[in-house]
Amino acid sequence: MGMFFTLFLKLCKEKHLKPDSELLERLPRNDTLLLDLSHMSICADMCGILGKALSFDETINELRFSDCMICPEGMQAILHGLASNTSVRKLNLKGNQIRGNTVESLGYMLRNNNCLTSICLEWNDLGILETPFIVFCDGLQANCNLRRLDIRNNQVTHHGAKQLAEALSSNKTLQVIESSLQCNQKLQLMKTNCKHKTHILCKQYRHLESENKKQVLNLMDKLSCTQGYLNHEKRNSGHQLMQLKETLKEKNQAFNELFSKFTETDTQLTLMKEKSSSQEECIKKLQEQLSGLKAQFQKELHQEREEFRNKEKNLVKDLSKASSKSIQLECKLSDSETKCHALQEQVYELKEHIACLHSEIELKEAQNKDMLEQKRNEFNEKIKQFEGIQKKEQLQQKESWENLETNLRNQIQKSEQSRLALEEDVASLKTANIALRVKAEEDIAILKAGIKTDNDLRYEQLQNKIFLIESSKEDFKKQWETSQQQLNDMNNKLARKETEKEAETGKYKMEINQLHSKLDAEAQIQRELKNKLLEMEQKLSEHDNIYKVMMKKHEVELASLHEQLRTKGSQLNCLCDEVTQRAQSLQSAVSITRTSLS
């Protein structure tokens, strides 16, 4: 791993930033002399880390940041790091829109850096503002190690060129002037080549115009021929259409006669249908009476079912009340059990407290014995007095502890008595709950028996009603069968008349279909003629469209060529003017330097 790469990663970790994968790929992994980050978008935070890494690095000799479009804050951070760098010899900052405060920081870097020998600042905006450009010129004047400086296409004004000339008077940068003069020669060659190409394009345009005119004349001749042919065919088709119209009038008269006969037969059919509809109405009345009887029967069944459901709901409510009472009793049981548990926990806590007190007493006795054994040799005479005092204290302590134990035992006995009383209450509550459940079950059994007897009686009544309804239904069926026989007779008569009518209408339809087939044949002939006319018109329109498209393409190509020529000419003129002005200013600067040297 290279020194610069490890330094960059360490700075990223310190600032808690994740570097881009592309940037990591471009960074040198070994101690190489070149760092190329051209044509890459770098954020301001990454530029700050790169600037810090460059300020400490001693391995990289050449830096390339061309066409990165770095923001002003990021560029200032990089230049600030380069101000204290001691290894970079070549720096390329082409196409980064350096302007304003960044130009001032560039001047600060040139003033403080003593190792750079070549800087490329082409295609930037150094000369837009005068005050930052003055700081840049001061930095150039202070730097004594630069050998190559490229400031082409930086919008340097005349005032800026004078300041640059004054700065260059104390710096050897003749190579820059030579490179700019070479650029003027290249631009002149480009201008001559463009003029030669415009001359060739004009010749090609004239040749294309002549060919297009010839094609237009040929197309016009073809269009005149096709129009004459179309007029001749239109006259023939008009004559044929007149003949077809006369035949259609004759056939329409015959069709009207057949239609009058068809209407007479329709009136007879409507009369027969009216008679059948009256019979159908009688049948519907009988069906309505049946539906009324069914509805009454269904209503009675629905009422009985609702009464049965209401009784069931009342029984369910009684059961829910009994269950709620049992739940309340169970809740009381659970409360009493919780109280018992709480009392038991208090007893356990008291026992633990007594054990802790015993342990403390034993510890104190052990401590006292140790103290006595240590001081027996020193204070043999005073032991007797202290022993008497200690015995009295021990007796007092024992009496106090005995009193505590008796009190605690009394409390335990009381808690056990209360627990026994609660257990007796719980047992009595359980017996009462069981008795209530037995009573509720007996009541439910009695109610179920009563409901069963009521249901049996109602079932017998309903069966009797169903028997009566079925007997009335048989009588109604006999009447229904007689009416259906009458309807069948009427339908047979109608079917015979309809067959006769269909035979007559079939004859008329055959004649009408023959007439339609003839008319369809004539209409197809007319359609074929119309299709031919449409095809001819489409061909003509296609020829016109192709010709118009070709003309538009040629016009667009010519317009684009003219615009390209104009833009290139304007660009060349602007470049020539700028280069001549800069060459004059630089030549003046060179003359000033030569005079100063001489």
Is 88 in contact with 60 (CB distance < 8 Å)? yes
Number of domains in the chain: 2
Domain end (from 178, 211, 236): 178
Q: Is residue 499 part of a domain?
A: yes
Nearest alpha carbon to residue 230 among 527, 537, 541, 528: 537
Q: Is residue 247 part of a domain?
A: no
Tokens linked to 176 = 């820059």
Per the model's pLDDT, the better-predicted residue between 376 and 413 turns out to be 413
Q: Is residue 553 part of a domain?
A: no
Nearest alpha carbon to residue 53 among 102, 96, 19: 19
Question: What would the pLDDT profile of 247-284 be if each residue is shown by its tens digit?
Answer: 777 777 777 777 777 677 677 777 777 776 776 776 67
Q: Is residue 419 part of a domain?
A: no
Domain end (from 178, 207, 235): 178
pLDDT at residue number 174: 41
The SS3 assignment for 171 reads coil
Average pLDDT over residues 404-425: 75
Residue 411 pLDDT grade (very low, low, confident, very high; cuts 50, 70, 90): confident
Handedness of CA 563, 566, 568, 574 (dihedral sign): negative
The CA angle 51-52-58, to the nearest 5 degrees, is 95
CATH of the domain at 88: 3.80.10.10
Cβ neighbours of residue 306 under 8 Å, at least 6 residues apart?
Answer: none
Q: Which range marks the domain in which residue 80 is found? A: 3-178
Is 60 in contact with 8 (CB distance < 8 Å)? no
pLDDT at residue number 248: 75
Q: Which of 149-158, 174-183, 241-250, 566-575: highest mean pLDDT?
A: 149-158
Average pLDDT over residues 115-130: 90
Per the model's pLDDT, the better-predicted residue between 345 and 10 turns out to be 10
Q: Is residue 49 part of a domain?
A: yes
Q: Is residue 493 part of a domain?
A: yes
Cβ neighbours of residue 175 under 8 Å, at least 6 residues apart?
Answer: 147, 148
| Residue 33 CB neighbour total at 10 angstroms | 13
DSSP characters over 226-275? HHHHHHHHHHHHHHHHHHHHHHHHHHHHHHHHHHHHHHHHHHHHHHHHHH
Q: Is residue 414 part of a domain?
A: no
Per the model's pLDDT, the better-predicted residue between 495 and 133 turns out to be 133
Domain end (from 503, 523, 557): 503
Is 140 in contact with 108 (CB distance < 8 Å)? no
Q: Is residue 222 part of a domain?
A: no
The conformation of residue 64, written as its DSSP 8-state character, comes to E
Place of tokens 């150094």: 126
Q: What percentage of residues in the chain have a pLDDT greater than 70?
A: 83
Question: What would the pLDDT profile of 338-372 be if each residue is shown by its tens digit?
Answer: 776 776 677 677 667 766 776 776 777 677 667 76
| Residue 467 CB neighbour total at 10 angstroms | 9
DSSP characters over 87-150? S--EEE-TTS---THHHHHHHHHHHH--S--EEE--SS-TTSSHHHHHHHHHHHHH-----EEE
